[in-house]
Amino acid sequence: MAARISTSSRTARRALIALTLVGAIGASTVGSSSAQVNVQAGAQGSDGWRGITRKSVEIDLGGGWVSKGELSLPSSARKKVPLVVLLHGSGHQDMNETLPGVEVFVPIAQTANREGFAVLRFNKRGVTGLGPTLTDDQSQLNPPHIYEQVLADAATAIRFAAARPEVDPTRIYLLGHSEGTQTAANLSADPSAANIPKPAGVIGMGVVGSDIRTLLTYQLFGKYLAQLHQEFDLDGDGSLTRTEISNGLHGQPADLVAYYREVLLAGDEINPGTDTDHDGTLSIDTEVSRVVRIKSRIDDYPDVEGLSEWNQRWAVDFGRFPNVTQDLPKFDGPTLLLNGENDVQSPARAAHAAEAALEKAGHRDHELITYPGVGHYMNIASKFTGGPGPLAPIVLKDIGRWLGAHR
């Protein structure tokens, strides 16, 4: 698997071979920073923490919530070190961004630690522990402005980190995943408004380079048409026969089979409700598109298919803020954008748009790497059906390489 790299003309180009959801922040801030520290031994054996000191911390995010987290750093550090703050994807995420079968942030933290950086990981508001486990306090889980609170909490965490005696406050880097890419862009675009030090650099994984309504339109509507074209319509004529549908369903997850059977078939025959011209085949871009669009309810946004009331409120609030393509060009520091080419939540095309905006703004140090065969969680994944999994080694290698070059 080859990693596809785009860089500015001033950034060294190199060939790499792979072994792997939104302006300005107001001047007012929430909460203050305080810490309780518990130092754990650096040598942790084969679990990846060998040579790394881990310190439990508590960050007062304000509004009656104290977030538990961890500051990790090289055990050999004898002076202030640069720091990476990890910014989560959407939802109630713990400090490790724990997803089924994987802790996304753990190997990233270990990679940065081995490059000489401290790393701050912290639970989002309302999260009490790993899993994640959540509080029963609905006021913390459901603030009035969900994403605006995420931004304010991230800024508080950054200020907390900047005040740590182990950290060089002039060398604080932001690394965001999914929603966190926009958080990093929003904060770095105007750090003084957020009352944080200017970041020394920004890394984004699964780049939110388009507005949330556009991304949800693709997730709930466009990706189905894309899959039907790419994986079902093998003769490329734009229409599906009963045989093409039957063959295409083989090997698909059960929930996707049920979805497609409802839209495309009536028993084992072509669905007459979808086949509006009654020719015995289904035109993907007219007949199927009409049914899938209605089914998605995207035209009733934010009341779309499968989106809870909480997620609807989040999407509306997220959409009040500029996306990465709009805000990151306002930051003149070094940037690294990473995106899987099999990402159907934040498609790679949106990352290319963000990269083009940086180029247009005259950025001197920016780099985009897209990875064939890699999904939204930076893991090896099939394009339309892949879920979370261990991060691809090449992604960690690229993060480590970039951090080492910008230390």
323-357: per-residue pLDDT in tens? 999 999 999 999 999 999 999 999 999 999 999 99
Residue 217 has pLDDT above 60, yes or no: yes
Q: Which pTM does this prediction carry?
A: 0.90
Give the pLDDT band of residue 386 (cuts 50, 70, 90): confident
Residues 220 and 202: their CA atoms lie apart, in Å, by 29
Residue 10 has pLDDT above 50, yes or no: no
Residues 201 and 132: their CA atoms lie apart, in Å, by 29
Residues 123 and 61: their CA atoms lie apart, in Å, by 11
Residue 11 has pLDDT above 50, yes or no: no
Q: Which two tokens stand for residue 340?
A: 């899987």
Give the pLDDT band of residue 5 (cuts 50, 70, 90): low
Residues 55 and 40: their CA atoms lie apart, in Å, by 6
Give the pLDDT band of residue 47 (cuts 50, 70, 90): confident
Least reliable range by pLDDT among 19-23, 61-65, 321-325, 394-398: 19-23
Question: What mean pLDDT do residues 74-91 have?
Answer: 97
| Extended beta strands in 178-276, E state | 201-205, 239-240, 265-266, 269-270
Strand partners, 87: 176
Residue 127 has pLDDT above 80, yes or no: yes
Instruction: Kindly give, in sequence order, each residue whose CB lies less than 8 Å from that of residue 229, ignoring residues fewer than 6 positions away.
Output: 238, 284
Residues 202 and 158: their CA atoms lie apart, in Å, by 13
Residues 369 and 106: their CA atoms lie apart, in Å, by 21
292-319 confidence digits (pLDDT tens): 999 999 999 999 999 999 999 999 999 9
pLDDT at position 182 is: 98
138-192 confidence digits (pLDDT tens): 999 999 999 999 999 999 999 999 999 999 999 999 999 999 999 999 999 999 9
257-272 confidence digits (pLDDT tens): 999 999 999 999 999 9
pLDDT at position 4 is: 64
Average pLDDT, the chain: 90
pLDDT at position 36 is: 38
pLDDT at position 2 is: 59
The SS3 call for residue 404 is helix
Longest dimension (CA), the chain: 76
* Dihedrals phi, psi of 121, to nearest 5 degrees: -115, 140
pLDDT at position 359 is: 98
Q: Which residue has the tokens 């996304």?
A: 104
Give the pLDDT band of residue 37 (cuts 50, 70, 90): very low
Chain centroid to CA 273: how far? Answer: 38
Q: What Å distances lie between residue 371 and 177, 212, 376, 380, 391, CA to CA?
A: 15, 23, 11, 9, 12
* Dihedrals phi, psi of 7, to nearest 5 degrees: -135, 165
What b/e string do you get for 193-215 counting C-beta neighbours within 10 Å, with b at 16 or more? bbebbebbbbbbbbbbbbbbbeb
Question: What mean pLDDT do residues 83-107 have?
Answer: 97
Which of 407, 343, 402 shows the shortest CA–CA distance to 215?
343
Residue 51 has pLDDT above 60, yes or no: yes
pLDDT at position 34 is: 36
